[in-house]
Every structure is written in C-alpha cells, then in structure tokens.
Chains A and B, each alone.
Chain A
Amino acid sequence: DGGITQSPKYLFRKEGQNVTLSCEQNLNHDAMYWYRQDPGQGLRLIYYSQIVNDFQKGDIAEGYSVSREKKESFPLTVTSAQKNPTAFYLCASTPGLAGGPRETQYFGPGTRLLVL
C-alpha cells in the first residue's frame, strides 16, 4: 500500500540529547514537509524539501535539522538547541509544486515527542 510512515510513534528525549524522527513515503512524491503541532494550535512548518539534496527552513526551524538524501526519506533531527521539543510532529508529502491536485499534502500518522 502507498503511503507515509513515521516512526517511532512515541519518542522520549533526555535533556541535551539529539533525537531523529523518521519519515518515509512510497508515493513517489517530490516534496516533503515537517510540521510541529502543539496543543490547541494549528500546524507550524519546520522544514520542507522540494527535491532531493535540497531543503528550506520553514517558520520555526531553530533547533531542528533535516536531510534529504533519498526521494522517499526526510528525517528530522531535534537537537539539544530546541529547548521546548515536546510536541506532536507530522510529516507530509505532495507530488510537486505546479497546479492541479499536486498541491494537496498528505500526512503521516505522526510522532509524539516527550522530554524526560
């Protein structure tokens, strides 16, 4: 089945530790996105990548890093510089940038990150 997978479902981080959240898609989509969701808030864009080996900062990129070495994978690292990392993280993908149905973003099931 085609779709977006995120792992793990729950992740615990100790103070000062870097953790990496996985996002994989087999939809052959070009663009991938990472969002953060806090309680009672909408989604905020962390990073996005329109093609392999290229990515752009979103609205809240500080304390996060990404890589896009393969089309199907877009891992997000939450670094120790992110002082308030507890949130729900959602990965999304979309076929491309031009007009038509390609603008629709499809989301993975999310990873809930908690700080110990």
Chain B
Amino acid sequence: AQKVTQAQTEISVVEKEDVTLDCVYETRDTTYYLFWYKQPPSGELVFLIRRNSFDEQNEISGRYSWNFQKSTSSFNFTITASQVVDSAVYFCALLSGANSKLTFGKGITLSVRP
C-alpha cells in the first residue's frame, strides 16, 4: 500500500527565513512518481514539481529546491528567503502502481509573517 507522511502540520516563519517541508513516503513499487502541490487560500492546487523514482538529482527552481533521497524515502521541499506569498498549504503526493492513483499527505500549512 502507498502512504505519504507529512509530519509537520503547521509551520510559521518570518519573511526571508528559509524553511524546509518534510515528506516521507512508502511504496513497494520500484517505479513511482513524487509530487509537490501548493494550495493557496483560493483553494486551487498548483503543481510545483514531479520526480520519478529513477531520478535522484536534486532540483532548484528559483527560491524552491527539492531533495529526493531514496535511501530514506524522503522528498523534502525547501523554500529559501521565504515571502508572504509563499503562505499556503503544501501537499506531497505519491503516484505508483498501474492504476495511477495519487496518494496525498495531509498537507503542511505554511504561514510567512512580514
């Protein structure tokens, strides 16, 4: 069975601080995909990144970076120099198996204070 654990439920930081959002996953499949989505107060889920299980390269996109480590089954997300606009709920998700069903974590509410 697939499972995604986001142990942090709420994080509050002051603007310009760096913040890391943790994600731990479980799957028995060797081929799988990991995702991060952002849900701002408007409610729509915004796709941020997709990673497949064969690509462990870390990725950086502007202030965002992702650290994928298969050895610890983790796919952590770091925001550098956080901004108020980063305030949102962030979901980590896992897609594995032939039925392409996404399994979501419970989300982390990030509040960035000015």
Interface, chain A (partner B; CB < 8 A):
31, 33, 40-45, 48, 50, 56, 58, 88, 90, 92, 94, 97, 101, 103-110, 112
B64 within 8 A of A: no
B101 within 8 A of A: yes
- Interface size on B, as a range, is 20 to 34
- Determine which residue in B42, B43, B47, B106 has the highest number of CB atoms from chain A within 10 A of its CB, and name it: B43
**Which one of A31, A45, A50, A90 contacts B45 once the chains associate, using CB atoms below 8 Å?**
A90
Interface, chain B (partner A; CB < 8 A):
4, 9, 33, 35, 37, 42-47, 50, 91, 95, 98-102, 104-107
Residues of A within 8 A of B104 (CB): 42-44
**Which one of A58, A97, A106, A109 contacts B43 once the chains associate, using CB atoms below 8 Å?**
A109
Contacts A41-B106, A109-B42 known; 5 new A-B pairs at CB < 8 A: A43-B91, A90-B44, A104-B35, A105-B35, A107-B37
- Determine which residue in B35, B45, B101 has the highest number of CB atoms from chain A within 10 A of its CB, and name it: B45
**Which one of A31, A42, A43, A110 contacts B100 once the chains associate, using CB atoms below 8 Å?**
A31
Distance (whole angstroms) from the CB of A100 to the closest CB of chain B: 9
Q: 7 closest Cβ contacts across the A-B interface?
A: A42-B104, A107-B45, A110-B43, A109-B44, A43-B104, A42-B106, A103-B33
Query: Given that A40-B106, A45-B101 are contacting pairs, would A106 and B91 also be in contact in the complex, using a CB cutoff of 8 Å?
Result: no
- Determine which residue in A33, A48, A105 has the highest number of CB atoms from chain B within 10 A of its CB, and name it: A105
Q: Please, could you name 22 A-B residue pairs with CB atoms under 8 Å apart, sorted by A?
A: A31-B100, A33-B102, A40-B9, A42-B4, A42-B106, A42-B107, A43-B45, A44-B104, A45-B101, A45-B102, A50-B100, A90-B44, A90-B45, A92-B45, A97-B100, A103-B33, A103-B95, A104-B50, A105-B102, A106-B47, A107-B45, A109-B43
